[in-house]
Amino acid sequence: MSGSGDVHYHDYLQLDKILNAQFPESDKLNASAHDEMLFIIIHQAYELWFKQLHHEADSLVAIMRQPSLNDNSPELQTVVHRLNRMVVILRVLVHQIDILETMTPMDFLDFRDMLRPASGFQSWQFKLLEAKLGLKFEYRHGKEYYTAQLRQEHVDLIKQAETNQSFLQLVNDWLERMPFFDDAEAWKELSPSKTNDIHPFWVAYTNSYSNSLAEAEKNNLEAFHEVMFEHKETHYTLSAKANRAALFIMLYRGYPLLQLPFQLLNNLLEIDEQLSTWRHRHMNMVHRMIGTRIGTGGSSGKDYLKSAADKHYIFKEIAQLTSFLIERRRLPQLPKAIEQKLGFAAPSNSPEGGRTHSTRPA
């Protein structure tokens, strides 16, 4: 079980490969440009980290595919832990842009033309990661754009990932499996309504939500109905049922069984935020480096990057649920039987994050 006893750092890390993989074009042309080494090495560092992000994302997909994974499965902790690691990696990738910014536009011009038509748009690993996480093709800015720049084998990988269940879709399925609302009997005390087939909890909650809105916000109620129940539009990845489970988790995260699910959802938003910040800083950096000079492809790089930065939020359907939160004191009080299912042995406990009894109006 232990190692062979002769593992050496240099070999183990394959440093003969890694450290001999830098071939500046400017050297070949006898016009050595000092900063081209930096340009190569920073992109290689990015690609190494993209590989690591794929390693994590693949493991997450494998775990989430298990049909039995639900709110108290032990692997949920692993999912949360690895999502968090992805966030930590993305933070370093954002910071790393500082290094590229030490290259001035004039220093870049020393070798920029030698690289054509290579460009950063050609990182298939990054596009593949977006696809695995759940960026839909129809939301990808400049849809056909990337196929022109990538090799067929890498385009195929991305198309394949777009066909497979994405991590976002697996999150949807996991949310749909959440067993909170199953015990009809236990919930009945919450709302006696029998006039429609809406679950008693949501009857009570819709009422509270409506009351929480000021006059000028009344049209939020329509959006609430559309997102949580009707789903008349067709562009959704998350089902109405999954939305309801996600909102319930955000509302009652204080209950023990909802703590890891809440951390999971929160990490998804964190990933989107880091990706968004990365795109934003990358766009600014490109702008400083090459200005607004119109490229050979007809559209400027900055415009592309800017549109992508605005559109590519993968988990935006989860983010928008925030609009439907209400104050804790307005939350429907859960039935005791449900509270026990959510992890309260002693039902008299009042969790931070669950309903705060003491501030409840008489």
312 binds a second copy (CB under 8 A): no
- Asked if 288 touches a second copy (CB under 8 A), the answer is yes
Q: 45 vs 240, which CB is nearer to a second copy? A: 45
Closest CB 260 distance from a second copy, rounded Å: 7
Residues 335-354 that bind a second copy (CB under 8 A): 343-346, 349, 351-354
Bond from prior residue into 192 cis (ω within 30 degrees of 0): no
Q: Does 51 bind a second copy (CB under 8 A)?
A: yes
Q: Binding to a second copy by residue 261, rule CB under 8 A?
A: no
Q: Is 314 in the site for a second copy (CB under 8 A)?
A: no
User: x/- site string to a second copy, residues 23 to 42, per CB under 8 A?
Assistant: x-x---x-x--x--xx-xxx
Judged by CB under 8 A, does residue 298 bind a second copy?
A: yes
Work out how close the CB of 259 gets to a second copy at its nearest, in angstroms, rounded to a whole number: 5
Q: How far is the CB of 333 from a second copy (least distance, A)?
A: 15
Q: Does 14 sit near a second copy (CB under 8 A)? A: yes
Q: How far is the CB of 296 from a second copy (least distance, A)?
A: 5
- 116 annotated as a binding-site residue: no
Least distance from a second copy to the Cβ atom of residue 7, Å = 4
Is residue 43 a known part of a binding site? yes
| Interaction between residue 322 and a second copy (CB under 8 A) | yes
**Residues annotated within a binding site for heme:** 282
**Residues annotated within a binding site for substrate:** 39-43, 112, 296
